[in-house]
Amino acid sequence: MSDNPQSNGGQPQGPDMDQGIRVQVLGQYIKDLSFENPGAPQAFQARPAIDLGVDVQARRVDGDHAEIEIKLRVSAKVDDKPAFLLELVYGGYFLVQNAPDEILQQVLLIEAPHLLFPFARRIVADVIRDGGMPPLMIEPIDFSALYRAKQGEMQARVGAPV
């Protein structure tokens, strides 16, 4: 029975499992939320043009703990007049273990926001609906593409003459 890799209560064991990357959400929260509705009630009569901005920030709290923030900014206009503005900073407190330094940034800026996004998306939809508009269901965000774009911008800044 000792040769069975799952002899520990059904949990896999072995060298691969001991060194696997562990990402755990310890907490998630609204860090900042703002909603302005200057176009009401006139904005209800037409479909607004929506502009969405997304940013992700990560900071190490200590050793294996990090805070991730997804910043969403949704602005809407009807006939070039502001209909509403929503700004949300949604945070997560994560435990990240056994992540090699060369991929830690990717774990923090791609995988962690991917776990938080459905909750932030729901808040956006609910707040906009509660503001009198149809709920806005944000399409899934490709955090990997966002990460690559940020890396490209940073490399361009570093390589550009000052």
* Domain annotation covers residue 96: yes
Whether 140 contacts 116, CB under 8 Å: no
* Domain annotation covers residue 3: no
Q: What's the rounded mean pLDDT across residues 51-55?
A: 96
* Domain annotation covers residue 72: yes
* Domain annotation covers residue 13: no
* Domain annotation covers residue 16: no
Rounded Cα distance, 98 and 23, in Å: 9
Q: How crowded is residue 72: how many other Cβ atoms within 10 Å of its Cβ?
A: 21
CATH number at residue 52: 3.10.420.10
Residue 18 pLDDT exceeds 90: no
pLDDT for 135: 85
Residue 162 pLDDT exceeds 60: no
In terms of residue numbers, what domain contains 92?
A: 21-157
Return the ∠ at Cα 87 (arms to 69 and 113), rounded to 5°: 25
Q: Could you give the percent of the chain with pLDDT greater than 70? A: 86
* Domain annotation covers residue 33: yes
Number of domains observed in the structure of the chain = 1
Whether 68 contacts 108, CB under 8 Å: yes
Q: pTM for the full model?
A: 0.80
* Domain annotation covers residue 11: no
Residue 75 pLDDT exceeds 90: yes
* Domain annotation covers residue 142: yes
Q: Which bin fits 99, alpha (ψ -120 to 50), beta or left (φ > 0)?
A: beta
